[in-house]
Each structure stands twice: as C-alpha cells, then as structure tokens.
Amino acid sequence: MQNRIITLDEFIIHRQKEHPVATGELTGLLRDIGVAAKIVNREVNKAGLLNILGAVGSENLHGDTVQKLDLYANEKLIECLRNSGECAGIASEENEEFIPIPSVAGKDSKYVVVMDPLDGSSNIDVNVSVGTIFGIYRRISDPNKVVTKEDFLQKGTDLVAAGYVLYGTSTILVYTTGKGVNGFTLDPTIGEFCLSHQNIQIPKRGNFYSVNQGYYLKFDVEMRRYIDHCSDENYGLRYIGSMVSDIHRILFQGGIFLYPNTRKYPHGKLRLLYECNPLGFIVEQAGGKAISCYLERILEIEPKDLHQRVTVALGSPEMVDEMKAFVEKYSTIPG
Ligand code: AHM
C-alpha cells in the first residue's frame, strides 16, 4: 500500500504519460466517467430520501421493470459523456438504439462507450448494492461522420478500457486499460476516488460459487452436475443478484459466477455488450477466465445485436476450467 494518497485523476494522467503518443482523449473520457460515477453515487446514497426508489412503472425493452434510479443514472451518464467532448456515441442497456453524440467544439472523438448505467436494479429499493458497468471502444467508422452500429458491435477483445463502479458499503471504481486492474475507493470527505487496490489479482480458486440456484431445475444437465459438484466440495453459495457485487467479491476472494441458459432465458439473461464483455475483460486482466456455458471465450464472441444476451461463467481460472470439464463430460449438445 502506498503511503500517500493517489487520486483517480492523478493515476490516469500518470498512466497516460507512460504512452508518449497518447493524446489524452482516453484519459479525459475516464475522468469524465469518474465524475459521472460520483454524481450517480450521490443520488444512490440519498435515494431513500428523494423518493426516487421504486419502479417508475414502465418496463424497459427487455421486459424488466424500470426503476427511477436507473433512469437517473442513465441520464446523468449520458449528460456527462455528451458534454465530455471525448465520446462520439453511447450504447446503453436502457436505450433501444445507440445515441450518437455531436462533436463538442468541433472536435471529433474517436471513442464510443457501452454501459449498463445501474446494474442489479431489482436491488435498488431494498438498499442492496448496485453498480455501473462501462466499456470503451475505439470507433471504427469515419471519425468525421456520425457513429454507426458497427462501432458498438465490436468484440470484447477490441475493448480499450472497461470498468465498474460498485455502490456498496463504500463506493469503489475498478478499471482496466488492458494493463492490469486497479481499484479506487471514494473518500467522501474529499470527494475523490483514491487508489486503494493496486494490480488486483484474482485467486486461482475460491470457496464460493455464485448462481441463482432457484433456477437449478431449469438448467441443463451439465450445469446441474457442476452445481452439485460445488455443493459436494462444500463451496459456499453467495448470490447477491447484482452482477457487479458478485464479481467484485470473486475478484478479491476467488470463486465462480454463473448465469446459464434457462427456459425463460434460452440464451442466458445477461447482456454481452453491457455486462459480460466489460466484466470479462476485467476478470481476464486480473488473471481469471470468462467463457460462455457453451465454452466460447466471452471476449471473442462476435456481437450481432446491441442487446444480445449470452450465458456466462467467469471467475477464478481453475474453477472455470473445472466447470468447462463438466460441460465437456456431460453436455448433450454435440460438438
Ligand atoms: P438488471 O439489468 O435488471 O439489473 O439485471 C441484471 C442483473 C445482474 O446484475 C444479476 O446478476 C442478474 O440480473 C440477476 O438475475 P436473476 O434475478 O435472474 O438471478
């Protein structure tokens, strides 16, 4: 642990200096996301006082009930990114279509952002941790023109940066630019994210598995066998129902997170672009693994649709390998 405080801003500027050709745009974008996270954090913390808990009543395009705070987080993040000047477009889990952003002060940005503004929304109105997830891609379309869908439909291996903010007992921002994973805890007394977890390394194995075991009977046989194995091995079951929180624990204590296909969600529930790719990138950067329940590496899946769902198993490398062995042994799907 360093003996002087290093803020998120200092850290990302320092990292930029390590790349002599860097223009500072990514640095600016990460800093703007940090600012947006502080604003969302403020609202999450006082949600109970402001009557923005509970559902608006409408359903989002996936059929989930939209919570007021989801809308707020979505709006705030979009607003910050729109004013940033470093972002050419946004694809958000809360919006059916991507949002092109006009250039600010005549400057054409080369980055686009994918995000889940407030993941784990069913936990909001009972004061349980929720999180923001983001990923940053370099746009592939002509930078002088409006962004296209292809700018967002890039594989996870093309991510330039990814991160999450966990609004928990303390608020922590964890991000990677492909050179390790670092965590910054918000010090509310100075209003700054301060480096608290340097070069995070996921344990090779852990004592926990994280899955919605209530759906056990709806999982395929190989997944049921693997879950039985976890139970036989006396792994503890930990499932918050907020992917950011579940992954955060696994990042530090080791373990495996699973969201397989069910009858309700034949392709899995979680979104490739907004949830699985950014968190998969972070987990891999910390030394872990992220695969689908059909054993494809998450980051190599070719996205076809902005809101594409995917099955997922991610976490400690040895546990993901173990799950893979169960799929290979028991799967009835040829191949
Ligand atoms: P959300 O986009 O409505 O917030 O749903 C995503 C969340 C994840 O954070 C979590 O892992 C999962 O949904 C929980 O789903 P389930 O309640 O089906 O177990």
Residue whose CA is at the smallest distance from ligand 1 atom 14: 241
C-beta 119 within 6 A of ligand 1: yes
Q: Which residues contact 90 (CB under 8 A, 6 or more apart)?
A: 77, 78, 81, 98, 99, 101, 112, 113, 114, 115
Q: Choose between 159 and 3: higher pLDDT.
A: 159
C-beta 212 within 6 A of ligand 1: yes
Per-residue confidence (pLDDT) for residue 2, from 0 to 100: 55
pLDDT at 90 > cutoff 80? yes
C-beta of residue 256 within 8 angstroms of C-beta of residue 320: yes
pLDDT at 96 > cutoff 90? yes
Once rounded to an integer, what is the mean pLDDT over residues 108-129?
89
d(CA 169, CA 121): 17
Reported as a pLDDT band with limits 50, 70 and 90, residue 4 is confident
Reported as a pLDDT band with limits 50, 70 and 90, residue 46 is confident
Reported as a pLDDT band with limits 50, 70 and 90, residue 185 is very high
Once rounded to an integer, what is the mean pLDDT over residues 13-29?
77
Give one word for 241, left, alpha or beta, with left for phi > 0 and alpha for psi -120 to 50. left
Percent of the chain with pLDDT over 90: 74
Give the least confident one: 9-18, 157-166, 179-188, 318-327. Answer: 9-18
Once rounded to an integer, what is the mean pLDDT over residues 207-228?
96
pLDDT in tens, 282-293: 999 999 999 999
Ranges of beta strands (E only) in 71-110 are: 89-92, 99-100
Cα separation values, 179 from 129, 198, 204, 250, 284, Å: 27, 12, 19, 20, 11
Per-residue confidence (pLDDT) for residue 179, from 0 to 100: 92
The distance between the two most distant Cα atoms of the chain, rounded to a whole number of Å, is 61
Sort 332 into a burial class: Cβ within 10 Å, 0-12 / 13-18 / 19+.
exposed
Residue whose CA is at the smallest distance from ligand 1 atom 7: 120
> What domains lie within the chain, and their CATH numbers?
8-197 (3.30.540.10), 208-330 (3.40.190.80)
Q: Which two tokens stand for residue 17?
A: 């200096």
Residue 242 alpha carbon, nearest atom of ligand 1: 9
Once rounded to an integer, what is the mean pLDDT over residues 177-183?
95
Phi and psi at 255, nearest 5°, equal 140, -175
C-beta of residue 236 within 8 angstroms of C-beta of residue 208: yes
Per-residue confidence (pLDDT) for residue 62, from 0 to 100: 64
Give 242 Cα–ligand 1 centroid separation in angstroms: 6
- Secondary structure of 285-325 in HEC code, one letter for each residue: HCCCEEECCCCCEHHHCCCCCCCCECCEEEECHHHHHHHHH
Per-residue confidence (pLDDT) for residue 104, from 0 to 100: 75
Per-residue confidence (pLDDT) for residue 51, from 0 to 100: 55
Per-residue confidence (pLDDT) for residue 257, from 0 to 100: 98
Q: Which two tokens stand for residue 176?
A: 């990677």
pLDDT at 1 > cutoff 60? no
pLDDT at 27 > cutoff 70? yes
Give 9 Cα–ligand 1 centroid separation in angstroms: 31
Residue whose CA is at the smallest distance from ligand 1 atom 11: 243
Question: Which DSSP state fits 235?
Answer: P
Question: Which DSSP state fits 108?
Answer: P
d(CA 171, CA 168): 5
Give the least confident one: 86-100, 102-116, 217-231. Answer: 102-116
pLDDT at 217 > cutoff 80? yes
pLDDT in tens, 286-325: 999 999 999 999 999 999 999 999 999 999 999 999 999 9
Once rounded to an integer, what is the mean pLDDT over residues 88-103?
95
Ligand 1: which of 56, 116, 243, 249 to mutate, judged by most atoms within 8 Å of the beta carbon? Answer: 243
Active site residues: 64, 70, 93-94, 116, 118-119, 275
d(CA 258, CA 323): 10
